[in-house]
Amino acid sequence: MRPLLSRALPLALCLIITGCASHPLPKYERPIARTQVQRVRTTAYTHTESDHVQYSNHNALGGTLQCGQINSAAADWSRWPAGTVFRIRETGELYRVDDYGWALAGTNTIDLYKPTRGAMNAWGVRHVTIENLQWGDPKQSLSILRPRSHYRHIQRMVAELKERMDELLRPVPSASPDYSSSMIASTGPSSQPLEPVADLAPRPAPTPIPATQRPIVVASAPPPQSAPRALPVSNSSTGGFYNSSRANNSARDPFFSSSSTR
């Protein structure tokens, strides 16, 4: 029994290695335009999937997969370098690229981390609009990937990072002057720009005019019935009190917006 087992084990390992070697890479897609706002295909994954269970809840950077204020995402690092932060317009969620996967290399798909299988299945496959709030560092991404180049999907990312390095290092014009990487930590639900501080300051009500200084309005006698009726004229000089019915809007920070075999 033992000799049989000892022969079966190497055979199984050989089959696993052969299977990995023959596992085809996904069909290559030309990179989409590198802009602040992009329309992308998204999928979802979780740490208990069979192709991720060996990594537990760890990401490709060595940290843990995040779910909360900023969530983890996996992508081809030659399209969205590690550290890229984006917001999904449709949901307002914030994501940071800290992972990659075999099925993502050479594609324009982003894989969103979900903490449970139920949340993963509920997301499914969706095309969404993302706002790239902070681009990751392509040089750092390349330095992380180079030592792992014995995997074919990483070889694909490394080759494209080298080819696109000049493009990836060029700054991307912001879609709006109100978007700033310093505001990424904001958790407000609105994407509206901040109101100027001056507009939000409380306005003092004007001092009421003393009764002795108010203009005296003299009532005139009604016109005779035969005379044409005069149009009523409002006297805008009366009153003078501040109309307190106008409420100031409160400021709300914009909310920036969140298959992984390595």
CA-based max dimension of the chain: 127
Fold exhibited by the domain 37-178: Barwin-like endoglucanases (2.40.40)
Q: Say what the pLDDT of residue 44 is.
A: 97
How far apart CA 112 and CA 93 sit, in angstroms, is: 11
Q: Say what the pLDDT of residue 205 is.
A: 47
> Quick check: 151 pLDDT over 50?
yes
Mean pLDDT in residue range 9-17: 45
- Of 205, 214, 206, 215, which Cα lies nearest the Cα of 248? 205
Quote the crossing angle between the two packed helices 138-145 and 152-169, to the nearest 10°: 160
How far apart CA 87 and CA 85 sit, in angstroms, is: 7
Task: Find tokens 């696993």 and name the residue.
Answer: 16
The set of long-range contacts for 46-54, using a CB threshold of 8 Å and a minimum separation of 24, is: 46/113, 46/114, 46/115, 46/116, 46/117, 46/119, 46/120, 47/113, 48/117, 49/117, 49/120, 49/260, 51/101, 51/102, 51/259, 51/260, 51/261, 52/260, 52/261
pLDDT band at 159 (very low <50, low <70, confident <90, very high): very high
pTM to 2 decimal places: 0.62
Radius of gyration for the alpha carbons in the chain, expressed in angstroms and rounded: 32
CB-count burial class (<10 Å; 0-12, 13-18, 19+) for 166: exposed
> What integer best gives the mean pLDDT of the chain?
73
Q: Say what the pLDDT of residue 251 is.
A: 36
Q: Say what the pLDDT of residue 210 is.
A: 57
Residues 203-231: pLDDT tens digits? 444 455 555 555 554 444 454 454 444 44
Q: Say what the pLDDT of residue 47 is.
A: 87
Residues 181-200: pLDDT tens digits? 444 544 433 333 323 333 33
